[in-house]
Structure formats: structure tokens, C-alpha cells
């Protein structure tokens, strides 16, 4: 395996030096990527072509699928190519692009999860005002806000990271360019950069997390007042997929980005990175399509 690097390159962590295992890694990642690609494209196509799904909830779901598709496309293909070609290098420009795009897609993804929680709150707790509050203009503005916040957040993180000077053999202890691992390679003092990354992540995380928590407290309070069990089950069935996706996203993302880089362990970091970068894009379409009768009905019509 190629171990040399130039000033304009980084070395990514390989899953194995054994050729057969490299090919196995390529096949496994290819299968995961194709499943994520097919699932998210099905969600996007179904929502776009089914007029009865042109509602705020499915509009946000379509945006979520686009972001999931983008996030897995940033990391997996490069790792697959490296395994196939028996190399570990990634150019400096490619590393910058990977960091920027992955942070952008991930942060915008979380912002949309918070928006979807607010949408469910308005639909369940204020049903008579839903069409007025969540009109088309407001939905577009909220979606644009999520995309723009992702760009700004990613630009700040990327600029802060690559303003540092990197030294040594530039070996990134991860299968893609990840900020916590890049900070370990910095020759210049990265303490304030690391603290800044953690504080900024916490601010965004807590603001979105509080919106989700407050929304669901109000939702559960309203649901408990519903007299019939059938209506309560119907409300829970619309919220359960979103709750599963939020729990999955938060539990995997917190450990990877909120913890200080000083307590990182290479094997654990690699496992967590594989989980939080691959599992949500694959599982989100499955969770939403399996638990949503409207999505399943629209899919049957399109496939039929």
C-alpha cells in the first residue's frame, strides 16, 4: 500500500493492508452506498411525483433525503476508490472539500430534524392554525435557513481547521478527512481551535436539541389529552419515525464531535465514524418508508 505523501496530500486510514480484505471493504461499502442511494432517491422521487405528498412534512423529508445522499457521497466513494486502487492518498484540496461538504450536509441535516419536530408540534398542538403557520413561504424560508446555516457553519469550521499548519507524514487516523483527526496533525497550537470547534458545535447542537425537546414535550402533553386510544396511536405513528432518526443521529454524532480529541482511540473512532457517516443515510429512508402509510402507498402506485 502506498505510504508516501507530498506537501499537498494527506494519507487516510486504510481498513487493511491485505488485498483480499481491501476488495471485501470495497464490496461492502459499495453495497451500503447503493442501498443508501436507492432508498433516498426513492423518497425524493416519490415525494416529487406524488401530488398528495406536497405538504410541509414531506417537503422537509425530501430535503433530508437530499442531505443524506450528499453526506454519504462525500466519504464513501473516495474510501472505495482507495481500497480498489490500493492507495491511501487524498489531495489537500480534496481533503478541504471533504471536510466542508461533510460538515455542511451533517449540520443542515440536524437543522432539518429540528424543523421537522417543530412542524409536528404545529400539526398536532395547533391543527387549526397549521395551514397559516406552515404555509409554503414559511416552509421555503425555514428550508433556506437550514441550508444557509449549514454553509456558514461549515465554512467557519473548515477555515478554522485549515488555517493551522500541518506537519509530519500527514496521516489522518480515519477513513475520511475528519476535523478531530486533522487537529491532531497540527504543528501550531490547536488548543483554541479545538475549544472553538467544541463550543460552536455545542451552541448549534443545544439550540436544535432544545427545539426538538420542547416540541416533543408539547406533543406528548397534547397526545395524553386525546380521549381515544386509536387517535393517540395515529399521532404516535407519525412521530415515531422522526424520534428514531433523531435519537440515531444524536447518539452517534455526540460521541464523535463533542468529545475532546485528547481522549480519542483509533479503533473506537473508526467504528463510530463508520456508524455516524453510513448508518443514518441508509436507515432514514427505511425508517420513514416502513412506518409511513402514505409513503408506502405512494411507492406502490409508482412501482405498480
**235-264 per-position pLDDT tens digit:** 777 777 777 777 777 776 666 655 555 555
In a domain, 66, yes or no: yes
In a domain, 145, yes or no: yes
Indicate the SS3 state at residue 91: strand
In a domain, 61, yes or no: yes
Mean pLDDT of the chain: 82
Q: What percent of the chain has pLDDT over 70?
A: 87
Which CATH number is 44's domain given? 1.20.1070.10
In this structure, what is the dihedral angle of CA atoms 73, 75, 78, 81, given to the nearest 10 degrees?
-80
In a domain, 3, yes or no: no
CA dist., res. 103 & res. 92, Å (int): 17
Q: Please give the C-alpha separations between residue 265 and each of 109, 163, 269, in angstroms, as whole numbers.
A: 26, 25, 6
In a domain, 2, yes or no: no
Residue 138's nearest CA partner among 115, 120, 159 is: 115
Residue owning grid cell 472553538: 196
125-169 residue pLDDT tens? 888 888 898 998 999 999 999 999 899 889 888 888 888 888 777
Task: Domain of residue 144: give its range.
Answer: 9-303
In a domain, 4, yes or no: no
CA dist., res. 92 & res. 170, Å (int): 10
In a domain, 78, yes or no: yes
Here the cell at position 98 is: 471533504
Helix (H) or strand (E) holding 172: strand 171-172
4 CB neighbour count, 10 Å cutoff? 9
CA within 13 Å, CB half, 80:
15
CA within 13 Å, CB half, 189:
3
Indicate the SS3 state at residue 262: helix
In a domain, 1, yes or no: no
Q: Please give the C-alpha separations between residue 36 and each of 40, 112, 203, in angstroms, as whole numbers.
A: 6, 19, 30
270-281 residue pLDDT tens? 777 788 888 888
Here the cell at position 106 is: 451533517
Q: C-alpha angle 98/99/105, rounded to 5°?
A: 85
Indicate the SS3 state at residue 13: coil
40-57 residue pLDDT tens? 998 999 899 888 888 998
pTM for the model stands at 0.85
What mean pLDDT do residues 18-38 have? 91
Contact residues for 191 (Cβ-Cβ < 8 A; gap 6+): none
44-96 residue pLDDT tens? 998 998 888 889 989 999 999 999 999 999 999 999 999 888 888 899 999 99
Total number of domains in the chain: 1
Amino acid at each position: 500500500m502506498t505510504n508516501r505523501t507530498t506537501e499537498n496530500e494527506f494519507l487516510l486510514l486504510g481498513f487493511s493492508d491485505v488485498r483480499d480484505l481491501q476488495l471485501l471493504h470495497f464490496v461492502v461499502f459499495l453495497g451500503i452506498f447503493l442501498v443508501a442511494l436507492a432508498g433516498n432517491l426513492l423518497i425524493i422521487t416519490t415525494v416529487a411525483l406524488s401530488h398528495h405528498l406536497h405538504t410541509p412534512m414531506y417537503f422537509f423529508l425530501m430535503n433530508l433525503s437530499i442531505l443524506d445522499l450528499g453526506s454519504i457521497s462525500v466519504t464513501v466513494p473516495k474510501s472505495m476508490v482507495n481500497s480498489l486502487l490500493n492507495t491511501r492518498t487524498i489531495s489537500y484540496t480534496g481533503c478541504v472539500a471533504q471536510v466542508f461538504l461533510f460538515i455542511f450536509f451533517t449540520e443542515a441535516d440536524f437543522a432539518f430534524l429540528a424543523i421537522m419536530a417543530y412542524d409536528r408540534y404545529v400539526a398536532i398542538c395547533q391543527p387549526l392554525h397549521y395551514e397559516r403557520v406552515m404555509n409554503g413561504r414559511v416552509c421555503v424560508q425555514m428550508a433556506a435557513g437550514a441550508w444557509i446555516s449549514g454553509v456558514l457553519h461549515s465554512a467557519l469550521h473548515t477555515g478554522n481547521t485549515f488555517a493551522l499548519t500541518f506537519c509530519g507524514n500527514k496521516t489522518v487516523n480515519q477513513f475520511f478527512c475528519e476535523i478531530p483527526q486533522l487537529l491532531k496533525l497540527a504543528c501550531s497550537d490547536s488548543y483554541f481551535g479545538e475549544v472553538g470547534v467544541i463550543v460552536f458545535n455545542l451552541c448549534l447542537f443545544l439550540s436544535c436539541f432544545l427545539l426538538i425537546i420542547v416540541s416533543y414535550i408539547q406533543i406528548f402533553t397534547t397526545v395524553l389529552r386525546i380521549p381515544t386510544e386509536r387517535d393517540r396511536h395515529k399521532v404516535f405513528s407519525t412521530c415515531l419515525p422522526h424520534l428514531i432518526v433523531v435519537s440515531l443521529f444524536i447518539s452517534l454524532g455526540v460521541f464523535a464531535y463533542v468529545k475532546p480529541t485528547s481522549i480519542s482511540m483509533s479503533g473506537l473512532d473508526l467504528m463510530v465514524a463508520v456508524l455516524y457517516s453510513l448508518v443514518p443515510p441508509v436507515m432514514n429512508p427505511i425508517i420513514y418508508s416502513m412506518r409511513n402509510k402514505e409513503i408506502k402507498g405512494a411507492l406502490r402506485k409508482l412501482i405498480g
